[in-house]
Amino acid sequence: MLVESFFNATKSDVSASAVDKDYQDVVNWWKKVYSKDALWVILVGLVLLILIQFVLGPFLWNNVLRKLFPRAGLGSAAWYDVFLLHIIIAIILPAIQPASWVSTSNPIIIPKV
């Protein structure tokens, strides 16, 4: 009798709209958290990239590449040479190989009630 009434029970206490609203609140909260984290990760990554590029790029070009390829006639590079080379490579590489490591799926799966 108890099992039969359990399986035949209706949602009288909680309506479907309240459950959907709670679910959407949780999803929106997670989106806010992830968007803030993603923004900080992008900003920190860009700052590190720029620092490494402007400090390490000309050093590697002038001291490593010119010695590895002495007959290539590579001149010394300034910071803007390395920056433009980076921009050109950033435009060309995605056209050659699409980023397969980029995930479009949501990492946290919240089951619908």
Decide if 66 is inside a domain: yes
Decide if 39 is inside a domain: yes
In terms of C-beta density within 10 A (0-12 exposed, 13-18 middle, 19 or more buried), how is residue 81 classed?
middle
Decide if 55 is inside a domain: yes
Q: What is the pLDDT of residue 69?
A: 84
Residues of the chain with pLDDT under 50: 1-3, 11, 13
Decide if 31 is inside a domain: yes
User: Based on the structure, what is the number of domains in the chain?
Assistant: 1
Q: What is the pLDDT of residue 13?
A: 47
Decide if 79 is inside a domain: yes
Decide if 5 is inside a domain: no
Decide if 9 is inside a domain: no
Q: Where in the sequence is the domain holding 73, given as residue range(s)?
A: 17-96
